[in-house]
Structure 1
Amino acid sequence: MWIGKSTIHIWILTLWSLASYAHAKQFERLLLISFDGFRWDYLSKVDTPNFDRFIANGVKADWIKDTYTSLTFPNHYTIVTGLYEESHGIVANEFYDPDLGMEFHNHNVTNVQDGRFWGGEPIWVTNQKNGGTSGVFYWVGSEAEIKGYRPNHYANYTVHNASMELWVNHTDQVIDWMTDPKDPVNLALLYFKEPDATGHRFGPDSPEVEDMIRQCDNITGYILDQIAEHGLNDLVNIIITSDHGMTNMSKDRFITLDGHVDETKTDHFLNYVIGASVWPKSGFEDEIYKNLSAIDEHVKVWRKSEIPAEYHYSNNKRIPEILMAADEGWGIKQNWDDKHYLLGRHGFNNSEMDMHPIFLASGPSFKKGYVSKPFENVQIYGLMCELLNIVPAPNNGSLDAVSHLLADNVSRSVNLVWQIALLVGGTLCVILLVCIVRELFKPYLKKPKSLHDWDDRSALLEGA
């Protein structure tokens, strides 16, 4: 046989190196899941066996701090960009953009799909810029073209029920993306609108919310079972989190704007119940500020320049000249006939405990059975980039704030492992190629000792 023992050894070493490289690369798969409005303490309200087994095999933060304000669109976009709201520009579910001369409303499909509203770089864009493949199911921002990119796979959001059957269908789609034989996604995002909707309608301490927590636990169990069934347990890191918490509301804790503001003296007045954004007409700034400040002790009113620095909520043109913020549990109604009554709400100051969401994670790169102290949700983006072995875009987070979640020797090392494996494997492939070529052409390269050797060589070439 023309391949000698040394060549076989090189084959074995090459295959081992490439296998090591492939194994390290497989660790880069990531599934990010959000349960909207899942408050940090909901896991203690009912039995959650599936969340419990997930936590036992991974990490759990006591709670995480969402960004100000504690609303759905701003915080979901913070999670995937690592930016405060003033940095990525989604400063509320509803806001006014003076440069575009347009209002943004989260239920307006045209607004949601307009890439001009979306600043920063979401994780799926970062992933695809680095050669990855992304699948996003119902995540805030995923319907717009951002920096010239859309997710490789995504679904346009539609208002839907919260049936377990539908959730299973959504999950199956994401699993299909992750196990596609031709181009599996290495990054998947999956969003569930509960228990937020139920918390709004019935309040966070209701039996209905408890039932919905159980359903969230059931779909988590289904996801974990599907991951195991498809042989992905040791290949996929999973993060489960939320955008904000929820608190109780009461009809007795609403104030009205009747008689306090003349809206003809404003260009834009966006009242979102737990706060309001006010853009006065030129010359009426002082009057409107004074009138709003006199309304009620349970509503704070700031000029833009006076908003506390710790909120990271002033350095953006979309933040209004006058900002109103209700105290936790209080609401603002436009007039006495306004019926904005829900039994649960969020969007209040992000320092309030009821506004804090959950953070859980499990997979080959995370510690097991580890409980972490709280951290900010701006840190999640950098953590995801570390897990995906990609260079993060500029952001407000720091990997140092969350590196303690990672298993020993995983942080900042996985990238080195696969790079070394690639280098060694590539080098051995080159050596192998040289050896093969040498073996193939060895009869032609050997110096003939006599004319007879030349005749044999010529005959061999003619036969070839």
Structure 2
Amino acid sequence: MGRNPQIFVKTFLYAILIIFQLAVCEHTPKLLLISFDGFRWDYLSKTDTPNFDRITNNGVRAKWIKDSFTSLTFPNHYTIATGLYEESHGIVANIFYDPVFNETFQIGNETTVLDGKFWGGEPIWVTNQLQGGRTGVYYWPGSEAEIKGVRPNIYEKYIKQEVSMALWRNRTDTVIEWLTDPENVVDLALLYFKEPDHTGHIYGPESPEVVQMIQQCDNITGYILDQIEEHGLSNLLNIIITSDHGMTGMNRSRFITLDDHIDTHQTKHLINYIVGTSVWPKSGENITEELYKNLSSIDPEHVQVWMKKDIPPEYHYANNRRIAPILMSANEGWGIKENWNDTHYLLGRHGFNNSKMDMHPFFVATGPVFKKGFISEPFENVNIYSLMCHILGINPAPNNGSLDAVKQLLADEYIPDEEYKYTQLQFTIAKWAGICFGAIIVIVLLIYVIKELKMNSQMRKEVSGFSNSNLTYSERDENREPLLSTDFP
């Protein structure tokens, strides 16, 4: 073993572990989920998108997908992550009041955003990690909070930044590093871009500025695909690119003002997000009835008003304490102002009824599990969670979606039938057999090393005992000078 077997052993063990980890990772399914915020279903037809075309030609595209009511950013990103409707996971708007906590959740309030008590359900990164996977998240609503005692293995804290290709490339490079790091590789990565939502709000969805931003989204998609190929991930990595909602145009003349019709002093909380309003009346049944009557008569042609119990069941938006006793929802293209001083005017808005086409986002995907050149009929975004779990080979938490609703996207060999289940079982058995075999090799090596170290230790003790003798004399001459132990070879 040499004079210092520990160095050899450590190096050898480290090499074995790295080789073994790489061997396991090479056969572990990987998934990259990307969101372009506010990317409407028909944006791909507004301009040339050669890089999105690379995905659809080699993968799948849905005609459109149906987002969840309400069509807002935080609720729908969290629906994608959990497979739950908003009433089920509890993020019922970007801003909402919780009567039990007596607190208002707000996307711009770091204290509430980081507080796990607001986030219900089980997002995909928690599901993945509870079943032995590793996750990296570069911005996603909910990823900074501790949910079920878990945060992503790696995550970036959201920072508002100017839009630039340089920053987007840096973000992409970081995610690619997560997916290829031999020591801490992740099998699930989530990546978020705030465009074209921001540009759509400012200039409107039909503006040339939105077209330019669609082109930039296509450019970064090309960069992502190039980096995946360059790092040898093409045959291992599955990619899903989607969005949270669409966008529609607004007009200054299509607004109603609440101050003109109700006494806001009768409300405990009035949360207005322009396309809808949550009304929490002060205590008293008469007050609630009076407010409902007054609000219902404002403009029934352009604003719908419901008591909580009367919200249509197809919206899946009634069975949660955070949904207000009275809910107002503006028709597409209309808005609600709290008073005449309200200046929240933008040329583009979302959050309207999720049955409207302008609210629907896009969906494309590619990778080993997906068909090639396939166009799917529409499906709901609650089904994406089950699809992701299937790709990763993990068991989904209880959710409102179904793998059956999206299995048409899968290549034949990945469709969940008895043969597929048998193949997955074989893979699982082979994987664990390899792990056990590797563990046995390491244990045998450690036993050998321990024996070697004990033998070396015993030899040192013998030599040490011999060298500690005071004097050593020659048998032939007792008067001879003593020999020091160091004189011996």
Distance 1:62 1:327 in 2: 24
CA shift digits 1:34-76 (9 cap, x unpaired): 0000000000000000000111110000000000000000000
- Report the residue type matching 2:112 in the other structure: N
Correspondences of 1:359-370 after superposition (within 5 Å): 359-370=363-374
- 2:406 corresponding residue in structure 1: 402
Verify the 8 A CA contact 2:26 2:236 in the aligned structure 1. Answer: no
**Partner SS state of residue 252, structure 1:** coil
Unmatched tracts of structure 1, length 5 or more: 1-17, 437-464
Verify the 8 A CA contact 2:370 2:411 in the aligned structure 1. Answer: yes
Verify the 8 A CA contact 1:20 1:418 in the aligned structure 2. Answer: no
1:96 aligns with 2:97: yes
Correspondences of 1:312-327 after superposition (within 5 Å): 312-327=316-331
Verify the 8 A CA contact 1:25 1:418 in the aligned structure 2. Answer: no
Query: For residues 59 and 257 of structure 1, do their structure 2 counterparts lie closer, same or farther at Cα, with a shift above 3 Å needed?
Result: same
Q: Structure 1-normalised TM-score? A: 0.87
**Partner SS state of residue 174, structure 1:** helix
- 1:268 corresponding residue in structure 2: 269
1:393 aligns with 2:397: yes
CA shift digits 1:100-120 (9 cap, x unpaired): 000011111111101110000
Displacement after TM superposition at 1:260 (Å): 1.4
Distance 2:110 2:24 in 1: 41
Larger RCO (CA within 8 A; separation ≥ 6): 1
- 2:424 corresponding residue in structure 1: 415
Q: Structure 2-normalised TM-score? A: 0.82
Distance 1:78 1:370 in 2: 25
- Report the residue type matching 1:197 in the other structure: H
Verify the 8 A CA contact 2:125 2:188 in the aligned structure 1. Answer: yes
- Report the residue type matching 1:398 in the other structure: S
- 1:288 corresponding residue in structure 2: 291
Query: For residues 253 and 222 of structure 1, do their structure 2 counterparts lie closer, same or farther at Cα, with a shift above 3 Å needed?
Result: same
Query: For residues 430 and 89 of structure 1, do their structure 2 counterparts lie closer, same or farther at Cα, with a shift above 3 Å needed?
Result: closer
Of the three residues 356, 361, 368, the one matched with 1:357 is 361
Give the length in aligned residue pairs: 416
- 2:7 corresponding residue in structure 1: none
Verify the 8 A CA contact 1:24 1:418 in the aligned structure 2. Answer: no
CA shift digits 1:247-296 (9 cap, x unpaired): 00000111111231212111100010000000001121011101111111
1:379 aligns with 2:388: no
Distance 1:180 1:431 in 2: 26
Displacement after TM superposition at 1:181 (Å): 1.5
Displacement after TM superposition at 1:425 (Å): 5.0
Of the three residues 326, 335, 351, the one matched with 1:347 is 351
Distance 1:214 1:431 in 2: 54
**Partner SS state of residue 370, structure 2:** coil
Distance 2:36 2:308 in 1: 32
**Partner SS state of residue 269, structure 2:** strand
Verify the 8 A CA contact 1:21 1:421 in the aligned structure 2. Answer: no
Verify the 8 A CA contact 2:21 2:182 in the aligned structure 1. Answer: no
CA shift digits 1:352-386 (9 cap, x unpaired): 00000011110011111010000000000000000
1:229 aligns with 2:230: yes
Distance 1:238 1:246 in 2: 24
Identity within the alignment, %:
66
Displacement after TM superposition at 1:337 (Å): 2.4
- 2:458 corresponding residue in structure 1: none
Q: Which has the larger radius of gyration?
A: 2
Distance 1:252 1:19 in 2: 62
- Report the residue type matching 1:290 in the other structure: K
**Partner SS state of residue 145, structure 2:** coil
Displacement after TM superposition at 1:202 (Å): 0.2
- 2:254 corresponding residue in structure 1: 253
Query: For residues 173 and 428 of structure 1, do their structure 2 counterparts lie closer, same or farther at Cα, with a shift above 3 Å needed?
Result: closer
- Report the residue type matching 2:310 in the other structure: E
Query: For residues 24 and 402 of structure 1, do their structure 2 counterparts lie closer, same or farther at Cα, with a shift above 3 Å needed?
Result: farther
Displacement after TM superposition at 1:427 (Å): 8.8
